[in-house]
Amino acid sequence: MFGNEPWAPLVSSAITIVLILVLAFVLRNVAHRIITRVVNRAATGGSITSRFRKGAAPDGIDALLHERRKQRAETMGSVLKHVASIVVLGTAALTVLDRLTIPIAPLLTSVGILGVAVGFGAQELVKDFIAGMFMLLEDQYGVGDVIDTGAAVGTVEAVTLRITRLRDADGRVWYIRNGTITRVGNESQGWSRAYMDVPVAYDADVVGVKVLLEQVAEEMWADSELRESKIVEEPQVYGVEQLSDSSLVFRITTKTLPSAQSEVAREMRLRVKSALDTAGIQLVGSA
């Protein structure tokens, strides 16, 4: 095209380099768009709480679950975009250097040695990031969950690849590195359980007390406010749970939405106490 002009190889190399860079940026943008589309699809979904009860799920619970999915998907999307950019642009840079007849073997060797040095110096940071990635992928917990990490117990306020931020019952904020979390107890996944042990006198009417507690359970299940926002299953009365020389212990229990067990348990105690007082039955000791 340029004949035997002395500048022809330079022009040819320049055109090749430009094409390599343009192709690299095109591939990078395509990869980012694909990742964004996957992230958006993963961040949206149907009501998870609908699996626990028929009918519409509470808007607040669905909003929390949606935000949790969105945060997890966006975090993973950000990581994937960075990885895609490094791979595509790094490959393009090496190809350009090779086109310019610059030896890349010493560069690769230097980068490898530097990577090993950084890896040794940042072992804890790498450990935190890897643990954070698996935690997000496996959905071990998310924003709004009440969890027990061993070091602290509280409500998750923020989750990143490096740290998890908790706020405990006293309002204290805990920053926990993901790599140091060896086990997690999550009180907010799937469903929770609220229960109450009712100790009555040893000579109390067993059948009468059980019938009374079953009435309380039916009243709670018939309460539309509780069914729509907290309870996912009709309360059950197990009968005599424990037997001692001074009392009979009955147990009443129910499944609740995640993190609603404390509120349901408090309501259960109020209703049981009121029913026992009306029937003239006294509680004995504590259980």
CATH class entry, domain 192-279: alpha beta
Helices marked H in the chain:
8-43, 59-99, 105-121, 123-137, 206-222, 224-229, 261-279
pLDDT tens readout for residues 38-82 = 878 777 754 444 444 444 444 445 555 666 677 677 777 877 888
DSSP 8-state code for residue 102: -
CA angle 151, 152, 155 (to 5 degrees): 150
Q: How far is CA 239 from the centre of its chain?
A: 36
Q: For domain 8-121, is the CATH number 2.40.128? A: no
Q: What tens digit of pLDDT does each residue of 14-33 get?
A: 888 888 889 999 999 999 99
* pLDDT over 70 (residue 250): yes
Written as one letter, the residue type at 36 is T
Could you give the C-alpha distances from 49 to 44, 116, 141, 145, 215, in angstroms and in order? Answer: 14, 47, 16, 15, 27
CA distances from 54 to 13, 207, 255 (A): 67, 33, 15
Residue 67 confidence (pLDDT): 66
Q: Look up tokens 């469903």; give the residue.
A: 191
Contact 206, 248 (CB under 8 A): yes
Q: Does residue 252 have a pLDDT over 80?
A: yes
Share the mean pLDDT of the chain.
80
Our measurement of the distance from residue 134's CA atom to the centroid of its chain's CA atoms, rounded to an integer in Å, reads: 11
Query: Distance between CA 277 and CA 263 in Å, rounded?
Result: 21
**Using an 8 Å Cβ cutoff, are 146 and 155 in contact?**
yes
Q: Are the C-beta atoms of residues 198 and 269 closer than 8 Å to each other?
A: no
Q: Which of the pair, 65 or 114, is modelled with greater confidence?
A: 114
Could you tell me the residue ranges of all domains in the chain?
A: 8-121, 139-186, 192-279
Backbone angles phi, psi at 284, to 5 degrees: -120, 125
Res. 191 pLDDT band, cuts 50 70 90: confident
Is 270's pLDDT higher than 90?
yes
The answer to whether 41 touches 87, Cβ cutoff 8 Å, is no
What values do phi and psi take at 157, rounded to 5?
-105, -25
Is 145 or 34 the better-scoring residue by pLDDT?
34
**Residue 139: helix, strand or coil by DSSP?**
coil
Arch. (CATH architecture) of 139-186: Roll (2.30)
C-alpha dist (Å) from residue 239 to 59, 63, 91, 212? 35, 38, 70, 11
Predicted confidence at residue 50, as pLDDT, reads 44
